[in-house]
């Protein structure tokens, strides 16, 4: 009897602990301004140009470099390793808490449509699973994780490596009454990296005879992102930054994939802007990986892009 009571008390304490932990994590994460989901609620950026996509725009498009040249205030909403469903939910959440921007610059490349590259990061939405849209998208894109979210605290335990530090940082932000994110405009400078073994990396990234395949789920969320923006009267530009020229040979069906992206853009009556012809694409010194620049490359590309945006937006305004 005494043992049964012990077990009962332990189990009750355990369930209560999980419940309390879940609440503590919810609160901590919603205070962490370095998380974009929190930042866009707490410090609305009110920008007219929204930069969006995975790590390429995150590390390569700097509002601080672009804004003075375009005369348009911009915010970088991109997040590393994200796919279109991830992008869609961030845009949805941004629009829920902010005034719609005039323009959306969304990064698309053949890898974006192939499920072997980047992914849906369900953990980014864990504190917001009460929202029905977020819940539906998470359930569709990470069903294994979603199944566990009904167990107390499992929505955090499942990817706990992604949360523990952020929760502590969230409490730090709360107790120090922090007002701005570490990167307030959303741009994160690329890592300093001496890129030595690039041929080996190509072989790993694009294993022999790799042919990009369009994942229907990715295509669906690309379309949903475009349509969500169009619903809010946002002008959407799809763009692809320069790809290191040497890597193109490893991308077997790149031309075909680009044709598909162009087709999607044409169908949705939006522009797809490419920078394939830039001279910098042939110089490895500007890159830290196939698709990412170092800071020198970022400065050069932002100059080019700013000029392009200016002229393009002018044309669109005249229309």
Partner 1 sequence: MLFNSPQFLLFLILVAGINFILRVANKRLFLLFASLFFIGFFNIASLAAVLFLSGFTFFVGSLIKGQRTNRLYYLALSVNVAAIMVFNYFLSVNSTLRFNFNSVDFNTESFLLMIGLSFYSLQHIAYLIDVKKQRLVAEKIFTDFLLYSVYFPKFMSGPIALHQQMRLQNWEDRPSGALMWQGFNRILMGFFKKMVIADRLAPSVHSIFDFNDTLPGLTVLAGGVLFTIQLYFDFSGYCDIAIGASKLLGIELPENFDFPLRARSITSFWRKWHLSLIHFFTTYIFYPLSFKYRHLKKTASAIAVLATFFVSALWHGLGFTFLLWAFCHTSYLLVELYFRKPNEPEKNRFRKGLKALSIFLLVSFSHLFFRSMSFGNCKHLISELFSTNFLPTNWRVDFIAPIAVGGHQTEHFNFLVTIVFIALFLILERKIFSIFSSRAFRPLFSFLFVILIFLFGVFNNGERFIYMQF
Q: Which of 71, 116, 136, 160 binds partner 1 (CB under 8 A)?
A: 160
Judged by beta carbon, residue 195 or residue 308, the one nearer partner 1 is 195
Minimum CB separation of residue 13 from partner 1 in Å reads 6
19 binds partner 1 (CB under 8 A): no
Minimum CB separation of residue 214 from partner 1 in Å reads 23
Binding flags for partner 1, 20-49, as an x/- string (CB under 8 A): -x----------------------------
Task: Give DSSP secondary structure letters for 147-168.
Answer: HHTTSTTHHHHTTHHHHHHHHH
Task: Give DSSP secondary structure letters for 178-205.
Answer: --S-SSTTS--PPPP-----HHHHHHHH
| Pair of tokens at residue 153 | 């605290």
273 binds partner 1 (CB under 8 A): no
171 binds partner 1 (CB under 8 A): no
Determine the Cα–Cα distance for residues 222 and 265; give it in Å rounded to an integer.
10
Backbone angles phi, psi at 235, to 5 degrees: -80, 125
148 binds partner 1 (CB under 8 A): yes
144 binds partner 1 (CB under 8 A): yes
Long-range CB pairs of 246-252, under 8 A, 24+ apart, other chains included: 246/198, 246/202, 246/284, 247/202, 247/205, 247/206, 247/290, 250/202, 250/203, 250/205, 250/206, 250/210, 251/110, 251/206, 251/210, 251/212, 252/206, 252/209, 252/210, 252/211, 252/212
129 binds partner 1 (CB under 8 A): no
Judged by beta carbon, residue 96 or residue 147, the one nearer partner 1 is 147
209 binds partner 1 (CB under 8 A): no
What is the 8-class DSSP label of residue 119?
B
Q: Which of 145, 237, 239, 250 binds partner 1 (CB under 8 A)?
A: 145
**Which residues neighbour 151 within 8 Å (Cβ) at sequence distance 6 or greater?**
none
| Pair of tokens at residue 76 | 């970088």
277 binds partner 1 (CB under 8 A): no
Q: Which of 166, 190, 242, 258 binds partner 1 (CB under 8 A)?
A: 166
Could you list the residues that contact partner 1 (CB under 8 A)? 3, 6-7, 9-10, 13-14, 17-18, 21, 144-145, 148, 153-154, 157-162, 164-166, 168-169, 191-193, 196-197, 200, 204
């Amino acid at each position: 009897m005494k043992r049964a009571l012990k077990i009962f008390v332990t189990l009750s304490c355990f369930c209560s602990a999980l419940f309390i932990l879940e609440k503590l994590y919810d609160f901590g994460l919603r205070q962490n301004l370095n998380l974009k989901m929190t930042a866009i609620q707490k410090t609305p950026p009110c920008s007219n140009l929204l930069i969006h996509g995975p790590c390429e725009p995150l590390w390569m498009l700097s509002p601080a470099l672009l804004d003075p040249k375009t005369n348009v205030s911009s915010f970088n909403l991109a997040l590393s390793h994200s796919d279109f469903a991830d992008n869609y939910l961030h845009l949805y959440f941004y629009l829920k808490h902010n005034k719609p921007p005039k323009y959306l610059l969304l990064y698309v490349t053949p890898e974006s449509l192939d499920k072997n590259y980047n992914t849906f990061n369900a953990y980014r939405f864990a504190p917001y699973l009460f929202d029905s849209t977020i819940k539906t998208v998470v359930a569709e894109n990470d069903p294994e994780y979603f199944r566990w979210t009904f167990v107390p605290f499992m929505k955090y335990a499942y990817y706990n490596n992604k949360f523990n530090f952020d929760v502590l940082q969230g409490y730090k932000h709360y107790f120090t009454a922090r007002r701005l994110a570490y990167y307030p405009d959303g741009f994160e400078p690329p890592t300093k990296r001496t890129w030595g073994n690039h041929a080996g990396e190509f072989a790993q990234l694009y294993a022999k005879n790799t042919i990009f395949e369009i994942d229907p789920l990715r295509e669906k969320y690309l379309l949903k992102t475009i349509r969500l923006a169009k619903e809010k009267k946002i002008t959407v530009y799809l763009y692809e930054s320069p790809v290191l020229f040497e890597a193109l040979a490893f991308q077997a069906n790149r031309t075909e994939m680009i044709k598909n992206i162009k087709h999607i853009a044409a169908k949705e009556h939006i522009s797809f802007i490419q920078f394939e012809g830039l001279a910098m694409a042939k110089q490895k010194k500007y890159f830290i990986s196939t698709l990412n620049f170092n800071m020198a490359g970022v400065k050069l590309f932002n100059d080019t892009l700013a000029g392009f945006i200016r002229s393009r937006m002018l044309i669109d305004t005249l229309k």
